[in-house]
Structure 1
């Protein structure tokens, strides 16, 4: 089967689809033949994707922190477009600061999107998938979920929770033909990454990239052995693989896409 036909006939829901990794996931799934419901709280990006891929991408405004809204969106999407075969949790936020400066609101908001959002979307789509006896859920987490990072406690904790939630869900529904996996990127050229650089006072993107690749002993980062920072498409390709039949015997897996940065600790 050609790559362009790999996901032919499949319908996917992608959250956080307006830009960055989420946008790349939409483009990659469409390139493999899928139809995609592209969901984001900020509709500008997903509207652009729908205009670029008429009939293949449906734009949806969705707040993943609102469980009722998620349930309604999944019900309406399936009524209009058919059963969902794939769900990809990409929506996420980052509040970067040391723990002593971390506010309760920042902690709560981080978990509301990065963890509660994964619960809401996964729970809403898995009901139908389990009844039909097939489906794939992929959660985009972070290598920070497995390796401590300075200034990223809320983000790392929320992503670690999302990873374990996805594995537990996968165990519960494996016998009903639903696979649940996670993809854990390292540093990736997204708006979130650029925001971290700006917060750290690094205005020059090329210099910031060199520093990430080289590592930083003061912040306990090893650098990236492959010598390059990831692009969103690198993560999207891993998502597409796990969503496809090529990964039909893979579930409860956490696939690191970080160029070896964590030494797979």
Structure 2
């Protein structure tokens, strides 16, 4: 029987899939991977299981994070079937690139439903499960937000608002859970080579990549001082650290993984 349960959302691709593969290197854990797209999630779960350490079990269960009932049921089933929750890693999210004046109410609601409300549903369910368990070992929650949560971006008003909400919620929860030893931290990536990022770059990805690296005065963006686009693994290594006993005295933090793009402004 696996001793630790780790839940990873957004695991079908991008940063979430990279996080799942990183966590799978831990022997003897149960990884519950979730995403909205069932077929992509099943493929990702097979890939993660193929690279998993001995004794590590990988399970997959689709879930729409915008549904309070679905999220609550997911966490309750996970704890019932696999044991006490050790770490929750929330990497799921949606993105629309649109100026505020051109953003529809439906688009704004969709981003808030998944990125903010979904985070609330998930963190509340996980916190309730963790509060029920008395544990001497390290436990934690890591939420993947965005550097846009702390720095204004042209065309990202709704997205930035949703990620700022997720970050604030996570850190407030961390203060509430500190007494039971549950750490809560936020990772804020910048431009990362994922399908979502390539969609943002549009029909000319090389031009988009260049703007990200060199900056764009037209949208008031700085470049990336380190001179490279992050790989999902770059973010995953940071998440893996925070969701481990190596970070047992780290909580309530926002850690920017953006190559210096925001100068941590």
Counterpart of 2:45 in structure 1 is 50
Whole-angstrom distance in 1 between the partners of 2:131 and 2:230: 34
SS of corresponding position for 1:108: helix
Equivalences for residues 165-204 of structure 1 within 5 A? 165-198=169-202, 201-202=203-204
Structure 1 runs of 4+ aligned residues shifted over 4 Å read: none
Residue ranges of structure 1 left out of the alignment (5+ in a row): 1-7
1:64 aligns with 2:65: yes
Out of 149, 155, 162, the position equivalent to 2:159 is 155
Asked whether the equivalents of residues 9 and 90 of structure 2 are also in contact (C-alpha less than 8 Å), the reply is yes
Asked whether the equivalents of residues 50 and 56 of structure 1 are also in contact (C-alpha less than 8 Å), the reply is no
TM-score, normalised to structure 1, is 0.92
1:122 aligns with 2:123: yes
Out of 11, 33, 40, the position equivalent to 1:38 is 33
Residue 91 of structure 1 deviates from its aligned partner by: 1.1
Counterpart of 2:20 in structure 1 is 26
Asked whether the equivalents of residues 133 and 177 of structure 1 are also in contact (C-alpha less than 8 Å), the reply is no
Counterpart of 1:5 in structure 2 is none
SS of corresponding position for 1:85: strand
Residue 56 of structure 1 deviates from its aligned partner by: 1.9
* Aligned pairs, number: 254
Counterpart of 2:221 in structure 1 is 221
Asked whether the equivalents of residues 17 and 23 of structure 1 are also in contact (C-alpha less than 8 Å), the reply is yes
Counterpart of 2:91 in structure 1 is 90
Asked whether the equivalents of residues 21 and 232 of structure 1 are also in contact (C-alpha less than 8 Å), the reply is yes
Counterpart of 1:258 in structure 2 is 258
Asked whether the equivalents of residues 170 and 252 of structure 1 are also in contact (C-alpha less than 8 Å), the reply is yes
* Closer, same or farther: CA 207–99 of 1 in aligned 2, 3 Å: closer
Counterpart of 1:106 in structure 2 is 107
Q: Deviations over 1:220-258 (max 9, x none)?
A: 111000010001111111111001001000110000000
Question: Structure 1 stretch 136-145 or stretch 211-220: which is displaced more?
Answer: 211-220
Counterpart of 1:145 in structure 2 is 149
RMSD (Å) for aligned C-alpha atoms: 1.4
Residue ranges of structure 2 left out of the alignment (5+ in a row): 51-55
Counterpart of 2:53 in structure 1 is none
Whole-angstrom distance in 2 between the partners of 1:100 and 1:50: 40
SS of corresponding position for 1:31: coil
SS of corresponding position for 1:61: coil
Asked whether the equivalents of residues 228 and 259 of structure 2 are also in contact (C-alpha less than 8 Å), the reply is yes
Residue 30 of structure 1 deviates from its aligned partner by: 0.5
Whole-angstrom distance in 1 between the partners of 2:253 and 2:151: 17
